[in-house]
Each structure stands twice: as structure tokens, then as C-alpha cells.
Chain A
């Protein structure tokens, strides 16, 4: 079996699968799902994205 990458690597079968999904996903449903995922991801963080703590943490990482 050919191994494939979970990290969006260059594997052709993965890229072809992703392109096929894009073509077949209703844009409005896709947009809704992405918004929901962003909201869910924000809930996972101890500090919300727009808090001063999160901004300072991100700034610190960028300047490392």
C-alpha cells in the first residue's frame, strides 16, 4: 500500500482527493462549515484569539 501524507504533502492521490472535494462541496455549506470550525477552534484555546494574552503570545513567537 502506498502511504499518504496527513500534512498536505505533495502526494498526488491526496491532492486529487482534495481537489475533488472542493469541486463537489456547495460553496455556501463549505463557508458555513469553515466558520463553525474557526469558532470551535477558538473555543479550544485557553485565551481567545483577540485577547491581549493571545496577541502578546503570538507576537512573541513571531519575533523569536
Chain B
């Protein structure tokens, strides 16, 4: 399975990542139309190197420009430090790599609150929690907010037991 392959490669290369975006919502709540795997990586040099290795093993492709587009195995190993977001292709599907995410606290804070789950194919992953998913949506301009997603997250949070 393609998304399982992407997550499994990230796990095997010990990349510190969090699943965010539509795929995280799809796995934890309800089916939605989404085609890319959004991964927020811990933004450190060693972790970017691990991520680079995982993307090489996935035969991912990216380019700083159209002219530069090609397999990431041919890129200099620091290519993940040149910008903040990367939209890649791979035979297993589209992959978006984020070094930071609007509306959220630090990666380590969100990781501490994250949820460890498994896909139906038994591949484990860490995804940002419902509260952080909701924070991502709420920081968007109103016309870009996904209302169905916000409603589902608010319902899920309302069902959560409260800390006394």
C-alpha cells in the first residue's frame, strides 16, 4: 500500500516526523478527499539527513526549480535546508515535507501531545492530536477553513474526558 510504504520508510529510517493534514484526519476521524501525505519533521540537521535518506529510498523527486527537478538521490544532502516546505512526487504518492507549521507550537511540544496510531496495514505513525489539528484549521483565513473537519474535531474534543 502506497501511504503505508511512505510511513514505513520514515519509521525505518528513524525520521522524527508527525503526520499532519488531511491524511492524519482521514486515519483518525472520517474519510475525506486527500492525495498527499503531509509530514512535519523535526527541524534539525541530523533529522533532515535521516529524512533525506528515507526520501531517497522512496525514489522521491523534487527540484528547486522546474529545470532542477529530479530524483532527490542526486541532490546535495543539504537540500532540505534551502526552504520551509517541499512538495515531492514518489511512486507511492505525493509527499509534502514541512519544517514548520503555522498555528502550532514547537515540533517537540506537538510531539509530546501527539497520538501514536497504526494504519489498517499495521504501520505505526505519530500524528498531531485533535487539538493541534483544530489549531491548524483555526489559524487559516475563513475562506480556506474546512468546516466539516472543524466540526468533526470539535465533536471529538467534546467527547474527550476532561482533566480535573
Binding site for B on A (CB under 8 A): 1-11, 13-14, 17-18, 20-21, 23-25, 29-30, 33-34, 36-37, 39-45, 49, 54, 61
Say yes or no: A37 contacts B66, CB within 8 Å.
Answer: no
Say yes or no for B101: interface residue by CB 8 A criterion. yes
Whether B98 and A4, one on each chain, are in contact in the complex, defined by CB atoms closer than 8 angstroms, is: yes
A3 contacts across to B, CB distance below 8 A: 84, 100-103
Determine the chain B residues whose CB is within 8 A of the CB of A24 once the complex forms: 61, 63, 66, 69, 89
CB <8 Å contact, A29 and B98: no
Asked if B115 lies at the interface with its beta carbon under 8 angstroms from chain A, I say no
Q: Tell me which of A20, A23, A39, A44 contacts B119 (CB under 8 A).
A: A44
- Interface set, chain B 94-142, CB cutoff 8 A to A: 94, 96, 98-103, 119-121, 136-137, 139-141
| Interface SS of A by simple majority | helix
Q: Quick one: CB contact mask for B63-103 with A, threshold 8 Å, 1 for yes?
A: 10110010000000000000111111111111010111111
Instruction: Kindly state the separation between the CA atoms of A43 and B122 in the bound complex, as whole angstroms.
Output: 12
Q: How far is the CA of A42 from the CA of B32 in the complex (A)?
A: 10
> Which of the residues A4, A17, A23, A43 comes within 8 Å of B102, measured between beta carbons?
A4
**B37 closest partner in A (C-beta):** A37
On whether the beta carbons of A4 and B31 are closer than 8 Å, the reply is: no
The CA of A6 and the CA of B91, in the complex, are separated in Å by: 21
A21 partner residues in chain B, CB cutoff 8 A: 87-89, 94
Q: List 7 A-B contacts (CB under 8 A).
A: A9-B144, A17-B96, A20-B65, A25-B89, A33-B89, A33-B92, A44-B31
Is there a chain A Cβ closer than 8 Å to B57's Cβ? no
CB–CB A5/B102 < 8 A: yes
Quick check: is B146 within 8 A (CB to CB) of the other chain? yes
Whether B86 and A17, one on each chain, are in contact in the complex, defined by CB atoms closer than 8 angstroms, is yes
- Known contacts A6-B38, A7-B21: does B120 contact A36 (CB below 8 Å)? no
Is the Cβ of B66 less than 8 Å from the Cβ of A36? no
**Cβ of B102 and Cβ of A41 under 8 Å apart?**
no
Do B144 and A34 touch (CB < 8 A)?
no
Distance to closest chain A CB from B157 (angstroms): 17
